Amino acid sequence: MGMGGGGSPDAEIFEINVTPLVDVCLVLVIIMMVTAPIMSQPKLLIDLPAAANADKGEEKSKLSINIDGEGKVAINEREVKWENLESELTAKVLDALDEDKVVLIRADEKATYKSIVEAMNIAKKADARKVTIATEPVDVDQKKKDTKKAEEEKKAKEKKG
């Protein structure tokens, strides 16, 4: 007699041990949780300019042209050369659904005006329905406080000088 408790020693076992399967699945989940934030970090670091009337409504756009302060350009976080921007953006716009033909331009505040206009022209040539420029919202109350503080500091300097 074996330790299995009954039955012949040659009998096949028809049970599945689930513990190793659960262990492997948990390890895969942990790996995905660790790598997901790393994979979603943008290739180009962009410091958007601030605007009092900034609207986050177009942030849901699936097509974005990112321009950093050094003039590098990317489509949806994938860096491309300026020479290839038009052809690659045209392909992305054609693949997009009709309502998704909105191109969001995310340009660093140090990016040149020329590069932003060029990106807008390329987006229009690519048959984008709408082209928008992303900005960071300005906290109006904070801006008033900063302006008032700057004026007070200026007056204090004038009194000293």
CA distance 81 to 111: 16
At residue 57, the pLDDT reads: 47
Encode pLDDT of 66-109 as tens digits: 888 888 898 887 888 989 888 888 888 888 765 668 888 888 88
Q: Taking the domains of the chain in order of start, what are their residue ranges?
A: 50-137
Per the prediction, the chain carries an average pLDDT of 78
Of the candidates 68, 52, 51, 64, the one whose C-alpha atom is nearest the C-alpha of residue 107 is: 68
Burial of 89 (0-12, 13-18, 19+ CB in 10 A): buried
Mean pLDDT for 34-46 is 71
Mean pLDDT for 134-157 is 73
**pTM to 2 decimals?**
0.55
DSSP 7: S
Encode pLDDT of 11-28 as tens digits: 777 788 889 999 999 999
Cβ atoms 70, 109 nearer than 8 A: no
According to CATH, what is the number of the domain 50-137? 3.30.420.270
